[in-house]
Amino acid sequence: MSERLEPGDTAPAFTLPDADGKDVSLSDHKGRKVIVYFYPAALTPGCTKQACDFTDNLELLAGAGYDVIGVSPDKPEKLAKFRDQESLKVTLVADPSKAVLEAYGAFGEKQMYGKTVTGVIRSTFVVDEEGRIERAFYNVRATGHVAKIIKDLGI
């Protein structure tokens, strides 16, 4: 399992395809704060709730200077279906190799229904304008997490 990131660490750089197959890089957002969140699978109830929460609060977050990027191991085609079906406005990127998930410590062993399994650890990171981790949240709940971030960031 990869190391967990801590505030002050440099955010691992990435370039991944979005739902339309266009490359999105963390470096594209230099000078702005970015909320990077990792979720297990598009078109599942918890992940849909979380993505819709981010979409519903996107204007508020953008107004406070934050961009939002959602990362999952899904392929771009599935992300496009997810975006279109749920009218999502957040940027969704595909990490089928799980390399970025692993770099952020968002892939590994976790507890699910009382069993230890290997998979995506629902996690969220706030990256500052310089590309450093400002906050790292691991094992977050899909429901209520966006409201908690907004409260924690004082937005």
- Using alpha carbons, select from 134, 131, 111 the residue that is nearest to residue 122: 111
Distance, CA of 35 to CA of 101 (rounded, Å): 14
Concerning whether 47 is annotated as a catalytic residue, the answer is: yes
Q: Which of 34, 47, 58, 71 is catalytic?
A: 47
**Number of DSSP helices (H) and strands (E) in the chain, helices first:** 5, 9
C-beta pairs of 18-21 under 8 Å, 24+ apart in sequence: 18/76, 18/79, 18/91, 18/92, 18/93, 18/94, 19/76, 19/79, 19/80, 19/82, 19/83, 19/92, 19/94, 20/76, 20/80, 21/76
- Compute the radius of gyration of the chain from its Cα atoms: 14
Q: Are the CB atoms for 92 and 54 separated by under 8 Å?
A: no
Residues annotated as catalytic are 47
